[in-house]
Amino acid sequence: MPIFLLKRILSTIPVMLIVAVLVFMLLRLTPGDPAAIIAGDAASPENIAKIREGFGLDKPLPVQFGIWFGNLLTGNLGESYFFKKTVVELIAQRIEPTLALATLTILIAIAVAVPLGVLAAWRMGGWLDRALMGFSVMGFSVPVFVLAYILIYIVSLKLGWLPVQGYSRLGEGTFWQFLRHLILPAITLSVIYIALIARVTRAAVSEVLTEDYIRTARAKGLPEFTVLWRHAFANAAVPIVTVIGIGIALLIGGVVVTESVYGIPGLGRLTVDAVLARDFPTIQGVILLFSFVYVLINLAVDLSYVLFDPRIRY
Amino acid sequence: MQETAPPLVIDVLTVPPYKPSLAGRLWRNWAVRIGGTVMAVLLVIALSAPWLGTVDPTLFDAGSRDLLPGAMGEITNLDNESSPHKFLFGSDSFGRDIYSRVIFGTRVSLIVGIAVAALSLLFGVLLGLVSGTLRRLDGPLMRLMDGVMAIPGILIAIALVALWRPSLSTVVIAIAIPEIPRVTRLVRSLVLSIREEPYVEAAVSLGTPLFTIMFRHILPNTIAPLIVQGTYICASAILTEAILSFLGVGLPTDLPTWGNIMAEGRVQFNQFPHNVFFPGVFLAFTVLAVNILGDGLRDILDPKMSKRV
């Protein structure tokens, strides 16, 4: 059914359009003169007037949006007054650490959470199950930065195993150097993600385990591992993949904090720096980028259902 | 040969079935008990902060900088009089008492959590009721909510606080806005299912005005899931406020909040980890208690939801 597929892909366009409008309106709905906000606190009146003209802030709102959106479509996100660069350049410069951190985090989270969730569902009510559920409530409650400092204190300061902060670009040092700087941040960031994925995995697998075909599989003498992996997990994959997609929002929030604590020069750090400098073009650019990535990942998740569940066809 | 069974002496009709009250059922749930107790203790701490052996959390003494937990030092009041003071949790790099700051910080966290929950529930309920009952507004409103939900909540909050002058009310509003779509969706889905109930149909056929149906017949049935949702929002708002303050984009730095204390302590975390440790512990336990309370309330008030996850 390629029509459904097409519809699903097209359905992201209005969402992205609304996101663009919201991000655009963010600055315009603010009390005060947007030009003065963009120019910063120490700007001279001439500077503010120049910005007002440059951004077309003296024109009516729909016209402003047209200009801004036209620029957006051609990949022009504006220029950062603070960093003296175009926003696109800034993002290109900062995207590598964030991508590396996010990828490692997702890998760790899936590798830990899925087996734990399956085992917890397998022995529901057992010690592992209870420990996991306890851990997951804790994972949602302990703030990322508190966890980060606990890990830094133990692993870096007391044991001296890993560096406290910093980042080593891929290709500049050895691969191990690159990885060493990412291990702690990725573990920190993965905790809340593990909590989320493990919870959903447990719920989804435990539901499948009550199905008749699980009893059949056991009755015909399949080893328990095969029952759990091939029959239970495979049929519970759709909600698990869905939550991995939804959790990307958590991950993005976490990246902002984690990169600040560990001094990683990525997009999250850029967001905080831009906010502290009230560098509005950059804030807009980063929010747009993060939101679009989030929408696209969830589109990919929806489309991937076909791979996990042959009953679903597009 | 055949033995007759003894006659059944208990008359089932005279013994009423034991049915504990709602409060009784809530108290029997361990999660509600623990979470509720911790919350009550925190509330008492917040209300009685000035009488818990604290000093003004903004007072400092240049001679009492960076004291370790439990150390003795001096604190100078606004009249420039110094008096000896025991720094239970140590002091920060200005010589302010961390214990007093953490205790007073409880107030800010609870206010933010409760205010954000109330605000986002209020707007979420209104929008959800509108969306669920007025077909024509449903489409556009839900698309708008989709758009808001597509932007990671913390980024909206950060951007809003950066644009407005940081204050308690702006932080509360900025954290509440990204929560509204979730409440709206919940209320809308509840309204859509309640609308099909026979009593609503009866009300409609009796010619009850739409407004009355919305508030008299539909709204009361959404309260239980909303209380549960409100608890979770409260927990995440406390966390978000701390994150914002920690990043330096939250409440004004002179306010004693857990996030602000940690933001200041992070600079010299290597030498003096207690600056980050004590507020961090309070924060984690508070959020944990609220989350546990939410889980317990969900199990009792909203059994349908607890079966899902």
- Cβ contact, residue pair B283, A16, below 8 Å: no
Is B303 in a helix, a strand, or coil?
Answer: helix
Is B87 in a helix, a strand, or coil?
Answer: strand
- Identify from B102, B155, B182, B297 which residue to disrupt to test chain A contact, counting A C-beta atoms within 10 A and taking the largest count: B155
Q: CB pairs below 8 Å between A and B: how many?
A: 131
Chain B residues whose beta carbon lies within 8 Å of the beta carbon of residue A149: 266, 269, 273, 276-277, 280
Tokens of A15: 């969402």
Is A85 in a helix, a strand, or coil?
Answer: strand
Amino acid in the structure at residue A12: T
Q: What is the mean pLDDT of residues B91-100?
A: 74
Calpha distance A294→A296 (Å, rounded) = 6
Instruction: Name the minimum distance, in Å, from the CA of B280 to any CA of chain A.
Output: 6
**Lowest-confidence region among A42-51, A101-110, A285-294:** A42-51
- Structure confidence by residue, pLDDT tens digits, A227-266: 888 888 888 888 898 898 888 888 888 898 899 888 888 8
Alpha helices in A155-211 (DSSP H): 175-208
- Structure confidence by residue, pLDDT tens digits, A259-295: 988 888 889 889 888 888 878 888 889 999 999 998 8
Tokens of A240: 């698990």
Q: For chain B, give the percent of residues with pLDDT over 70.
A: 80
Pick from A22, A164, A199: CB nearest B151: A22
Q: DSSP string covering B166-196, please?
A: P-HHHHHHHHHGGGHHHHHHHHHHHHHHHTT
**Lowest-confidence region among A151-155, A229-233, B46-50:** B46-50
Q: What does the mean pLDDT of chain A come to?
A: 84
Helix (H) or strand (E) holding B280: helix B274-301
- Cβ contact, residue pair A252, B152, below 8 Å: yes
For residues B229 and B182, the answer to whether their CB atoms sit within 8 Å is yes
Please tell me which residue of chain A has the smallest CA distance to B235: A141
Q: B266 touching A, CB under 8 A?
A: yes
Calpha distance A283→A271 (Å, rounded) = 6
Q: What is the mean pLDDT of residues A302-308?
A: 81
Instruction: Name the minimum distance, in Å, from the CA of B197 to any CA of chain A.
Output: 28
Tokens of A279: 């560098």
- Identify from B154, B182, B299 which residue to disrupt to test chain A contact, counting A C-beta atoms within 10 A and taking the largest count: B154
φ, ψ of residue A214 to 5 degrees: the values are: -70, -40
Q: ipTM of the predicted structure?
A: 0.83
> Quick one: pLDDT at residue B60?
67
Identify any residues that bridge with A190 across adjacent strands, giving them in sequence order. Answer: none
More confident residue, B189 or B68: B189
Pick from A18, A203, A276: CB nearest B309: A203
Report which DSSP code applies to B213: I
pTM to 2 decimal places: 0.85
Helix (H) or strand (E) holding B119: helix B98-133
Q: A314 touching B, CB under 8 A?
A: no
A85-86 vs A79-80, strand pairing mode? antiparallel
Q: What is the mean pLDDT of residues A85-98?
A: 88
How far is residue A173 CA from its own chain's centroid? 27
Amino acid in the structure at residue A104: L
User: CA of A174: how far to CAs of A49, A98, A179, A182, B19, in Å?
Assistant: 49, 19, 9, 13, 68
In this predicted structure, the answer to whether residue B38 has a pLDDT above a threshold of 70 is: yes
- Cβ contact, residue pair B164, A30, below 8 Å: yes
C-beta pairs of A298-301 under 8 Å, 24+ apart in sequence: A298/A245, A298/A246, A298/A248, A299/A8, A299/A9, A299/A12, A300/A245, A301/A241, A301/A242, A301/A244, A301/A245
Nearest to A137, CA basis, from B34, B306, B295, B113: B295
In this predicted structure, the answer to whether residue B241 has a pLDDT above a threshold of 80 is: yes
Nearest to A281, CA basis, from A95, A68, A60, A125: A68
